[in-house]
Amino acid sequence: MLHVSVPEVVITAVAVALALWLVFIIGDRRGTRALRQRIAALTSRLGADPPAREPKSVEEGLAYLERATDSAVEAVHEASSETIRIRRALDALPQAVLIRDEHGETVFSNQNALALMSGRHGDALAAQAVEELLESTPIGATEERTLELYGPPRRTLVVRTESIDSGSRVLGVMAVIDDVSERRRLEGIRRDFVANVSHELKTPMGALGLLAETLLAETEPQVAQRLAQRIHTEAFRISRVIDDLLDLSRIENEESPPREPVLVNLVMAEAAERVRAPAEQLHIQVVLDEPDPPVAVLGDRRQLTSAIYNLLENAVKFSNMGSQVVCSGRAENDEVLITVTDRGAGIPTRDLERIFERFYRVDQGRSRSTGGTGLGLAIVRHVAANHRGSVHVESREGEGSTFTFRLPLQPRSDA
């Protein structure tokens, strides 16, 4: 491929035109041979192979020069197109890419790099670290550094710099900045999940073993009955954890659940009926305020019922005895809003961002005493995501909580 720039082609063409003008104006025949030689020299400067023989006339030299110029222009066009393709490809990368020449001047930055290096606050710290790493990268070496930016939001960047050379001399240095925040967050969630599920199963299993051992040596019927009741309670607790884990796994795998019209009124009524028995034991009244007129959404009825049931069960467990839990639904614009409100203990502000995580509990002691598995709100969040909806909580410690479950309404079919 010919490596020639547009300015070189223009300068060459101007030089040839000027030489021709001088020849025809002055009319010096001795200048004609010099012009032919000059044309041949200019042609070679365009990167073309020299002619097999020296042109016999100016016209022959010009014809060869035209062919060489056309080839040079085509090469420039191809190089320009290739550069554009490379730039577009680098802009599409999720990583930030920055390239500097041997003099330390930035010759290329993709879109992510431009946003990072011109940013403020946390990005400014990252930009400074990238600058330091670029300046300190030895010739022919590769450097890597992990940056922890505590935000908010908290971010983790991996910066990797590498020297670029042609084999004979250094051409510059390249930096690739990879934002691994989401990857680190998922790794943390996975570690927490393994630790939490192990703890959730180990505790009741240990209690079962101890209770069974005590029961074997017990001779009094009344004590034996109490021990058997405790064994039943711990076994039920294990069963609840396993059932919720299976439900959560199923819902996560069904990212696109079957889409069929589901009446929101029926989902609310079914969820309220399932939670009515434990609510009556605590003398808590469950009040339904269904949408009027009835509204429908597209989705999986089983998943939606599970989500509303978990919100109601959570509200009942953390409400004061003799209080009231209200589940209301209404259509608003193109959405249906289902709210579950209680007047219980409420949620501290520091915990609001984490309550939808698996096994996360605001009050460990009270959660275990109420039989919660710590998976209900995680199920609610995934059901909302599967149905292109969302879930939001508003709470004040000591005053209760309101969970709002949003879903897109079923599109109306034109008659």
Which of these three, 152, 179, 206, is where a domain ends? 179
Which domain CATH number covers 151? 3.30.450.20
Q: What tens digit of pLDDT does each residue of 126-164 get?
A: 777 777 777 776 766 778 888 787 766 777 888 888 888
Of 22-31, 42-51, 196-205, the range with the highest mean pLDDT is 196-205
Task: Give SS3 for 67.
Answer: helix
| Residue 148, beta-bridge partner list | 156
395 shares a domain with 328: yes
211 shares a domain with 128: no
Residue 242 domain-assigned? yes
> What's the pLDDT band for 386 if we cut at 50, 70, 90?
confident
Q: What tens digit of pLDDT does each residue of 298-331 get?
A: 988 888 998 999 999 989 988 888 899 999 999 9
Is the pTM here over 0.85, yes or no? no
Q: What percent of the chain has pLDDT over 70?
A: 70
411 shares a domain with 263: yes
Alpha-carbon gap, residue 57 to 51, rounded angstroms: 13
Alpha-carbon gap, residue 46 to 92, rounded angstroms: 35
Residue from 328, 291, 316 nearest 405 by CA: 328
Residue 168 burial (C-beta neighbours within 10 Å; 0-12, 13-18, 19+): exposed
- The mean pLDDT value of the chain amounts to 76
Which domain CATH number covers 190? 1.10.287.130
Q: Which amino acid is at 275?
A: V
Pick the more confident residue, 407 or 219.
407
291 shares a domain with 273: yes
Residue 191 domain-assigned? yes
Q: Say how many domains are in the chain.
A: 4
Residue 275 near residue 316 (C-beta atoms within 8 A): yes
409 shares a domain with 316: yes
> What is the structure's pLDDT at 273?
92
Alpha-carbon gap, residue 109 to 25, rounded angstroms: 51
- Least trusted range by pLDDT, from 202-206, 223-227, 286-290, 339-343: 202-206
Residue 297 near residue 304 (C-beta atoms within 8 A): yes
Cis upstream peptide for 411 (omega within 30°) = no
209 shares a domain with 187: yes
Residue 58 domain-assigned? yes
Pick the more confident residue, 53 or 101.
101
Q: What tens digit of pLDDT does each residue of 86-95 get?
A: 777 778 888 8
Supply 156's token pair: 């983790």
Supply 104's token pair: 């330390």
Full residue range of the structural domain in which residue 386 is found: 256-415
Residue 231 near residue 238 (C-beta atoms within 8 A): no
Alpha-carbon gap, residue 401 to 268, rounded angstroms: 18
284 shares a domain with 172: no
55 shares a domain with 100: no
Contacts with 145 (C-beta within 8 Å, 6 or more apart), sequence order = 129, 133, 158, 159
> What is the structure's pLDDT at 56?
59
Residue 84 domain-assigned? yes
Residue 340 domain-assigned? yes
Residue 15 near residue 39 (C-beta atoms within 8 A): no
278 shares a domain with 331: yes
Please state the φ and ψ torsions of residue 173, each to the nearest 5 degrees. Answer: -145, 145
Which of these three, 179, 204, 226, is where a domain ends? 179
> What's the pLDDT band for 415 if we cut at 50, 70, 90?
very low
392 shares a domain with 331: yes
Which of these three, 253, 286, 302, is where a domain ends? 253
362 shares a domain with 277: yes
Residue 1 domain-assigned? no
CB atoms within 10 A of CB 271: 25
97 shares a domain with 21: no
